[in-house]
Structure 1
Amino acid sequence: MSFPWAKQYEPKAPLMRYLDEKLPLPRFLYNAVGGGYPVPRNLNYWWNFGVLAGFCLVLQIVTGVILAMHFAANAGVAFNSVEHIMRDVNWGWMLRYAHANGASFFFIVIYIHIFRGFFYGSYKAPREMVWLLGVVIFLLLMATAFMGYVLPWGQMSFWGAKVITGLFGAIPIVGEPIQIWLLGGYAPDNAALNRFFSLHFLLPFVIAGVVILHIWALHIPGSSNPTGVEIKSESDTIPFHPYYTAKDGFGLGVFLIAYCLMVFFLPNFMGHPDNYIPANPLSTPAHIVPEWYFWPFYAILRAFTADILFVPAKLLGVLAMFSSILVWFFLPWLDKSPVRSGHYRPVFKKFFWVLVVDMAVLFYCGGAPAEEPYVMLSQIATAYYFLHFLVILPIVSMIERPNPLPFSITEAVLGSDDKAVMAANATPAT
């Protein structure tokens, strides 16, 4: 977003002046994350998670590239190559634990980032494209994480691949050919492992490209803020650097403390013990579960246990699982409220917290055995999940009466904002 009061980049050193003239990379960085990018002055720590997600992506790419140097994408030796990394490669144990736990922390950060967007209406105009690209990033991240989970070729890796790819077989006519194409055969084997390894290595760089588009789309309208009120004057903003670089640095420090505690003291806490058993196609685990970050969608998949109108339950579960994420694409148009922030929407705020509880139930049921009462709880939670987005949210957005909004961001932070009032009065009515 272009602000007339934004500081302009003025290189002083001869080398920087030359570089700015021939390849204006310093100017680009200054305008993107430096003093030349004014941001709302009232951003809280919930806005740290975008930077943390970027850090997690870099962490996963760096550790993943190094691990790929030692991993053998062959069904006969993949499990042993992981053990080789853990036991024989210098610092291999740390790299492997950093990568595995980095995936879990990446999803923790992403889920918080998404629910912050739900509450503060980050999907509303003029930031619809920012939101849509964010959902694309989440889908790519899920695909990357699933393929990465298969690579160690342990029991849960093998059977997780068999179950998840088997879902495509539920699609009429084209389902089975797609499943065979994905696996390179009729069951997970060497061809599937090679394909998943190639895609797992490639997709993070695709994600990085979409992240660049995500940030680019964000800079056009500018950052949102906890009030949902747009910037009206210079007093509403402060430079991104040094104010928010310092704030993001503090958040990153807290994140790294929690991350390092997990890597060094509880490295297998978020993993599954069956994945330390080599894959055996003839021995089915008693309880097949994906990684924890897939649990809510796995619960939605398993919630359908009976055919409806001659539509198989398995197909209904597959459609519901994918629809549970695809519905996010339509949020900018499902929520018709002119007010963005949940702080000023009392009815919306109550239903938001019900949704949080509902997601917690789906998380719990997704990791539980496929038996009662977990199946029934999954069905209730799934029904409410779709009810929230497709029925409750549109109705609430049309009938609720929001609380009064502050005139400007500065008024919400400091009280009266004479500069914003004068600027508004001086702007011709349109």
Structure 2
Amino acid sequence: MANFIVADDESIASRIRSVLSFHEPNAPKADVLPSALAVGRLAREGGAGVVVVALPADPAAALDLLARVAPAAGGRLLALGPTSDARFVLQALRAGVRDYLDKGDLEVELAAALKRLAEPKDAASLGRVVAVLGASGGAGASTIAANLAVALATDHRSAGLVDLKLETGDLAALLDLKPTFSLSDLCRNAATFDRVMLERTLARHESGVALLAAPARIADVTLVRAEGVARAIDLARAAFPYVIVDVDHTYREEQLAALRQADVLLLPLRQDFNSLRNAHRALEHLGRMGLAGERARLVVNRAGQAVEVPRAKVEEALGMKVAHSIPEDPRAVARANDNGVPVVLEAPASRAGRSLLQLARSLETSRPGDAPAERRGARAGWRPWRRVAAGRGAH
């Protein structure tokens, strides 16, 4: 199929045609269409290869042009314009643009977009989704999620990070990021947003982490729906080798959508009675829904405090082994969190930093089923922490 360029500026059209000719040497020479005639010509063609639109300077005119061209472009519409107005870029993507390109770097941006269009979709190359679910507050789940994402991004050049703590999300602060958009912006168009819209919504960290932030306003939380979360994670795992999701313990439908897609489910807890009780309740609930199984791993956080339930008692109460323990290291972790620099970057040689790096490496080397977990504690009505509680004062 023929490629088309929609442009009223001949010099811009010539530059676009040169890039298309270089990257698709066997394709017919791209036709240049004035914006006033583009819709009619594309409709008569009945199909097109790539359609590149050089947007007019007026935002209203640009969006009107995209809305008219998109239905005839067959899902391969590329828009070329300024990127200084992030909200305009998002509006353009919502109008049906496959990719939005920076006019100031035309050749590089268009070449990269053409490469993305040509990439085959290989299910085997999808990234792994790691859900981090603290059974109750104070387990340090968000700190663990942020550090795992940074550690994995450092090793793999990129990693996705999704903040599903919709009302209280801390991941942006933990990474010292100020996102322009959030998950709620994507979910406004849950049925139509694509990978390009996702990428434009992400906040980028220097480590290579790309954060899909929680809504900035409580009022926008209601916009986040299960189908939008599922689609965002699907697209993220196609873009990143690892996607870390910080899941809330509300077990609402949008949270369950993430848990259903997880390849690994990390369950952080502390070695105290309340955390142990809540972890048991969480495992019992997840087990009833078929969301635990062999992919679930216990991660003890802040281990080694003076008064705590012994590890053997934790394992007995929950009916599964502790997969990893992160030692108590309040000075290093608190300083890192306060500075908005994850401890694996701020203090990688600290006890917590080394342990979190080891946990990240374990996600790279293991697969679900490597260490089958025993589920003696999943029986309905069994309350093993009562025995733990009876002896906890001695520890």
TM-score class normalised by the smaller sequence: under 0.3
TM-score, normalised relative to structure 1: 0.23
Structure ranking higher in helix proportion = 1
Structure ranking higher in strand proportion = 2
Question: Which structure carries more relative contact order (alpha carbon 8 Å, separation 6+)?
Answer: 1
TM-score, normalised relative to structure 2: 0.24
